[in-house]
Amino acid sequence: HTHVHATPTFSCCTRRPSSFLVQASSSEDRPGRREMLAVGLVFPSVSLLSQSSVSFAAETTKGFLSVLDKKDGYKFVYPFGWQEVVIEGQDKVFKDVIEPLESASVTVIPTSKEDIRDFGSPQELGETLIKKVLAPPSQKTKLIEATEREVDGKAYYTIEFVAKAPNYTRHALSTITIGNGKFYTLTTGANERRWEKMKDKLHTVVESFTIFNA
């Protein structure tokens, strides 16, 4: 159970993470109402202007904000300061604006399977996912570790891998599970050069990912 720590906040210095479209506009243009409406038109299900959003952010572990998606039935935490962005095909994405490889993204797809173990071992599923789904085909991938954990009787696989592009290497962690007739994947990572600095935070993100009956 997550304990909510009340931390003093100073209204002058806190601001709500803004949501914006990744390729919204030129860099000097701050996302305004026009882009917000554009997002609403392109992704009708994403209502950035309504206050009754299914997810909300609340400070939980110090330095992290929590996300609760009641519609799809999952929750997780992400580092304070990351911004929510909209990327087609992803259910939710939060990323660092300065270090774009530092992000957390969730995908939810329907499945008839009921248990992640039906897809084989963490190692087998991990190898398949990093080659076919979690990294572009042009990148060279390597599975580092694959483990299984259980939360409330549900099996979750966690895989650690690297994906090499010509000009950078991303070191990533994914957690995968099945429930509610859905196949859930949360992937987070960082540039290899920042892995040592970021790995504890990224482990906190993947370990926080849990699903519930939606």
- Residue 181 scores a pLDDT above 70: yes
- Between CA 127 and CA 130 the distance in angstroms is 6
Structure confidence at residue 60 as a pLDDT band (50, 70, 90): low
Higher-scoring residue by pLDDT: 116, 50: 116
Q: How does pLDDT run across 15-31, given as a tens digit for each residue?
A: 444 444 444 333 344 44
Round the average pLDDT of the chain to a whole number and report it. Answer: 81
pLDDT at site 22: 43
pLDDT at site 49: 37
Nearest to 46 by CA among 8, 79, 88, 6: 88
Burial readout 192-208 (b: 16 or more C-beta within 10 A, e: otherwise): beebeebeebbebbbbb
Higher-scoring residue by pLDDT: 143, 7: 143
- Residue 133 scores a pLDDT above 60: yes
- Residue 156 scores a pLDDT above 80: yes
Per DSSP, the three-state class of 77 is strand
Let me know how many helices (H) and strands (E) the chain has, helices first.
Answer: 3, 12
Structure confidence at residue 1 as a pLDDT band (50, 70, 90): low
Per DSSP, the three-state class of 203 is helix
pLDDT at site 62: 82
Alpha-carbon Rg of the chain, whole angstroms?
A: 17
Q: How does pLDDT run across 162-174, given as a tens digit for each residue?
A: 999 999 999 999 9
Nearest to 65 by CA among 34, 104, 36: 104
* Domain range summary for the chain, segments of one domain joined by +: 64-211
- Residue 154 scores a pLDDT above 90: yes
pLDDT at site 180: 96
- Residue 155 scores a pLDDT above 60: yes
Q: How does pLDDT run across 74-110, given as a tens digit for each residue?
A: 999 999 999 999 999 999 999 999 999 999 999 999 9
CATH class of the domain comprising 64-211: alpha beta
pLDDT at site 40: 38
Q: What percent of the chain has pLDDT over 90?
A: 70
Whether 128 contacts 105, CB under 8 Å: no
- Residue 41 scores a pLDDT above 80: no
